[in-house]
Structure 1
Amino acid sequence: MTLSWSSPDALLTTWLLVPYLAAFLAVLLPSLSHGLVLLCCSATALVGAEALLTESARPLQLIGEFGVQLSLEPLAGWFVLLNGLVCLAVWNEARRQGWDRTGWMLLLVLLGSLNTSFLTTDLISLYVSLEVVGIAAFLLILQGKSANAGWIALRYLLVGNTAMGLYLMGAGLVYAQSGSFAFDALAKLLPGAPLVLVLVGLLTKAGVFLNGLWLPRTHAEAPAEVSALLSGVVVGGGALPLLRLEQLNSAIAELLMPIGLASAALGLIYALGVGDAKRLLAWSTLGQMGLVLLSPAAGGLLAFSHGLAKSSLFLTARQWPTRSLQSWRQQPLPWPLLLTLGAGAFSIAGLAPLLGYAAKKQLEGAVSPTLAAAITVLSVGSVAVYCRLCRAPLLSQGSSTSGLWGSWMLLLPLLVGGALQLRSLNSGWLVSLLLLGLGLALDQLLEPLRQPAARALPSLDRLPDLVGGLGLVGAGLLLSIGRELS
């Protein structure tokens, strides 16, 4: 395929390649690191915004018929825009923490590989890009200073490689049956082992249900800015291909719906009972990514609003007085930090007038009334979860806000997006107040039970649990398919 350097396709290809070149230059010429990260993050955000504004799909085929298949459409635009904004905010925080050129190289590689995973529409190119994402994330987790950081990073890599090994087997079976690695070739096949193997790999990368049990301990050991990347945008590398498959075949959407609901319920239960603030946020990610999979029509906006809010919350972690939620009632927080926590938390909970409210309304409108009612019930639980982060007493003397600028960069789109919805809120204010009241009541009701409940909840994030979860989900998918076909 011959491309003119002035053509849109050539510009898109150049944009995909530049982060890898920038990563190389960041190592050779460390003085250029900050400028290169700014350039690549800004370009990524602009490409994502352009895809959303034009509302058109741009397919691209590289290296011939059996090469790389790419597509930039509005659904991918949400994830690309999210990638640029989150990496930009992480850069702002990481430079305060004194990241060296290795850290900048890894951030740029992660940015570029995520961009590729968001655009690719063939199974092999997606496999390669997600493996690069996994290696970059593994090395970033090692930046943590805790004693267990090395083991947790290795565990993340082992689970990810196991899941992607199953995915690769599924991709091979798809090619054997259809002669193609394209997503639409998989979607046209009768549901069976190839689909299940691919889904197991993608559900693990998306952090959904039992496949996402790697999240809690990984976030507990990773640095705050790495947790922001993992929960904010890395999980999107698995979620977007799942949404694309749902678009191509409604049977796949029906197959994933129970898993999405189960993930939302599991994440909510553990987030309500866990005593560590970072683990609370991680369990919440597992729940919210389950909701993202319920509808490809609303999944893009929901993943975008969740990613911005969750990354902003993780970026505040260095400002927390403690990670023990039992101590937060006795630990006054400066008003800038409390306000930042409240804005991010209540956007995820779906309260007006933040963008998370619009995302949840779009999701409720895209699913059946029964499913919409279940989402409303889950929203009450989400409010109760995030009340735990915002119930600390207010400290009148504000502290330095220098550590909150990255979080504020991510909260700004949530506020602006919510402000654009003000005229259409109608009963949204009343619904949000009702959800807030019910969530507060649920939080107070559970408080006396929280410590015994936390001890009673089984530990699900040990290595045997993670590997066993892959098998259980795969077996469950096969049984569901067999029941539908019989």
Structure 2
Amino acid sequence: MSDAWSPGSPQLVIWLLAPYLAAFTVALLPALSAPLILLCGLATALLGGWLLLGGSGLQLLLLGRYGVSLSVDGLACWFLLLGGLVCLAVWMEGRRQGWERTGWLLLLVLLGALNTSFLTTDLVSLYVSLEVVAISAFLLILKGRSARADWIALRYLLISNTAMGLYLIGAALVYSQSGSFQFTALAALPPGAPLALVLVGLLTKSGVFLNGLWLPRTHAEAPAEVSALLSGVVVSAGALPLLRLEQLSPSVTALLTPIALASAALGVTYALVVDDAKRLLAWSTLAQMGLVILSPAAGGAMALSHGLAKAGLFLTARHWPSRSLQGWSSRPLAWSLQLPLWLGALSIAGVAPMLGFSAKKQLETALSPPLAWAVLLLSIGSVALYTRLCRAPWDLTPRAPLSWGALLLSLPLLIAGVAFSAGRVTVDGLVKTFTVLLLGVALDQALERLRWRERMALPQLDRLPDLLGGLGLIGAGLVVAMHSGRFSPLLAGGAL
């Protein structure tokens, strides 16, 4: 990577700065919010789509060797497409809910910070962009306008700042040992405290395992549109750097694989027993983000399929008759809510021909056989937990308005899924999917008889001391694992 700008780099810099300039313009001229958000969101989605279809990548080093390092590559394209589409969908829903200038300004700043975090490959620029993401998300959570929302927002910011403080110490240690802030410099160092501190920060941002215990309550209590942003794309800002580090170092993959599997198992377990439908979706996010970071070969597809589905599901939450899952099967849901709900649920459950099916098949191909079987078992749990949402009866009368934002996110799951799976769906794959569906439904039916008994209650893990303790526990565990040198090749994520 050289200091010289490659052809097209001025346009890239303009595109990166556009959301911030648009936010400044919206602050002065609120009437321009709609065209500016449309322009920035479409530009982001189109860039991601162009790269996904085979467009040429680009690498830049701005302001010298200690400046901003950017990589527009095949991994980033999945996240750019996701970010553009989710922000557009939230804009569509926000207009219906009467968002004002402050909301549009924050949405544009969030989009700009997400774009930067998706492209940057140096630790300092990533720190800055992730902090801007956190501040924007914090202010958006406050739109809940309640004492509970205020506390949840402050708690989110406290955990985020604590984790990123550790991350910044790790970045400083990387520079002191290598003279560089690049991801490549971190990957080249022997596993130790610098890597552990950076991973603690990124695992917290991506909402994985004990570092992500802040996620269920935060995503459940935020307004529906903000929950869609948080679960759909904000957590992906921390996941992409983890995938980049896994590409650079097998040791990182070996460290993250058991954490990722534990996150998936923990999220599925809690989602199977909670009573709150929004918390079910939030726990599912913790599970799915574990699967996202399992393999850089499939992480982008997994992030896109999950983000589109989960954001669409959260956008329908405002119109649910109740968030309580007890008696959910006796409360009819309008077809306008059922359509995005079913499309999103089927995709996350990995049912053909949805995009989630292709993404999970890609993930299983990239993993060693034992890990692929573990993912298959977790898929049974995913089917069971989304069966809980899909058991509500259909109401064909137009009682609830159609959520165009949820539809914008849900339909690509089917369209892209058909395109990606064309000619790739085998009889064995269909049999496996059908078996997973049957086992998942059977598991849900077996648990339904026990859910409302007290013995099914699980320990509460998301109190503030638990959140802070989780950071320390994972950090200490990473350091111990690195110094013990016991990285099992079985957990390295690649095929054996």
The TM-score range, normalised by the shorter chain, is over 0.9
1:143-182 aligned within 5 A:
143-182=143-182
What is residue 491 of structure 2 aligned with on the other side?
none
Unpaired runs of 5+ in structure 2? 488-496
What is residue 349 of structure 1 aligned with on the other side?
349
3-state SS, counterpart of residue 195 of structure 2: helix
How many residues are aligned here? 483
3-state SS, counterpart of residue 326 of structure 1: coil
What is residue 302 of structure 2 aligned with on the other side?
302
The CA distance in 2 between the partners of 1:478 and 1:406, in whole Å, is: 43
TM-score (normalizing by structure 1): 0.97
3-state SS, counterpart of residue 59 of structure 1: strand
The CA distance in 1 between the partners of 2:359 and 2:105, in whole Å, is: 33
TM-score (normalizing by structure 2): 0.95
User: Given residue 480 of structure 1, which amino acid in structure 2 is its aligned partner?
Assistant: A
The CA distance in 1 between the partners of 2:56 and 2:168, in whole Å, is: 31
Indicate whether 1:114 and 2:114 are aligned: yes
The CA distance in 2 between the partners of 1:144 and 1:414, in whole Å, is: 29
Alpha-carbon deviations, 1:210-243, whole Å to 9, x = none?
0001111112220000000000000011000000
What is residue 416 of structure 2 aligned with on the other side?
417
Q: CA deviation at 1:453?
A: 5.8
The CA distance in 1 between the partners of 2:437 and 2:302, in whole Å, is: 20
Alpha-carbon deviations, 1:409-442, whole Å to 9, x = none?
0112111112111432122332222211111100
What is residue 217 of structure 1 aligned with on the other side?
217
User: Given residue 323 of structure 1, which amino acid in structure 2 is its aligned partner?
Assistant: R
- Change beyond 3 A, Cα 1:253–1:56: farther
Alpha-carbon deviations, 1:306-362, whole Å to 9, x = none?
000000000000110100001211111122322221110110011111000000000
1:436-455 aligned within 5 A:
436-452=437-453
Indicate whether 1:433 and 2:434 are aligned: yes
1:210-359 aligned within 5 A:
210-359=210-359
The CA distance in 2 between the partners of 1:337 and 1:367, in whole Å, is: 35
Q: CA deviation at 1:183?
A: 0.1
User: Given residue 386 of structure 1, which amino acid in structure 2 is its aligned partner?
Assistant: Y
- Residue pair 2:450, 2:456 contacting (<8 A) in 1 also: no
Q: CA deviation at 1:392?
A: 1.1
The CA distance in 2 between the partners of 1:279 and 1:481, in whole Å, is: 34
The answer to which of 423-432 and 238-247 deviates more is 423-432
- Residue pair 1:52, 1:73 contacting (<8 A) in 2 also: no
The CA distance in 2 between the partners of 1:455 and 1:135, in whole Å, is: 37
Alpha-carbon deviations, 1:434-458, whole Å to 9, x = none?
2111111000000111123676311
The CA distance in 2 between the partners of 1:396 and 1:485, in whole Å, is: 57
The answer to which of 126-135 and 427-436 deviates more is 427-436
Alpha-carbon deviations, 1:178-198, whole Å to 9, x = none?
000000000000000000000
User: Given residue 175 of structure 1, which amino acid in structure 2 is its aligned partner?
Assistant: Y
Unpaired runs of 5+ in structure 1? none
User: Given residue 214 of structure 1, which amino acid in structure 2 is its aligned partner?
Assistant: W
Q: CA deviation at 1:268?
A: 0.5
Q: CA deviation at 1:397?
A: 2.0
User: Given residue 8 of structure 2, which amino acid in structure 1 is its aligned partner?
Assistant: P
- Residue pair 2:319, 2:400 contacting (<8 A) in 1 also: no
Cα root mean square deviation, aligned: 1.4
What is residue 45 of structure 2 aligned with on the other side?
45
3-state SS, counterpart of residue 143 of structure 2: coil
Q: CA deviation at 1:485?
A: 6.8
3-state SS, counterpart of residue 385 of structure 2: helix
- Residue pair 2:41, 2:88 contacting (<8 A) in 1 also: yes
- Change beyond 3 A, Cα 1:3–1:58: closer
Indicate whether 1:456 and 2:443 are aligned: no
- State percent identity of aligned pairs: 66
Q: CA deviation at 1:389?
A: 0.4
What is residue 18 of structure 1 aligned with on the other side?
18
User: Given residue 80 of structure 1, which amino acid in structure 2 is its aligned partner?
Assistant: L
- Residue pair 1:273, 1:454 contacting (<8 A) in 2 also: no
1:118-129 aligned within 5 A:
118-129=118-129
User: Given residue 470 of structure 2, which amino acid in structure 1 is its aligned partner?
Assistant: G
User: Given residue 418 of structure 1, which amino acid in structure 2 is its aligned partner?
Assistant: G
What is residue 473 of structure 1 aligned with on the other side?
474
User: Given residue 111 of structure 2, which amino acid in structure 1 is its aligned partner?
Assistant: L
- Change beyond 3 A, Cα 1:2–1:436: closer
- Residue pair 1:274, 1:454 contacting (<8 A) in 2 also: no
- Change beyond 3 A, Cα 1:454–1:332: farther
The CA distance in 2 between the partners of 1:380 and 1:456, in whole Å, is: 21
Q: CA deviation at 1:166?
A: 0.1
The CA distance in 2 between the partners of 1:224 and 1:149, in whole Å, is: 12
Alpha-carbon deviations, 1:239-294, whole Å to 9, x = none?
00000000000111011000000000000000001110000000000000001111
The CA distance in 2 between the partners of 1:13 and 1:297, in whole Å, is: 27
3-state SS, counterpart of residue 459 of structure 2: coil
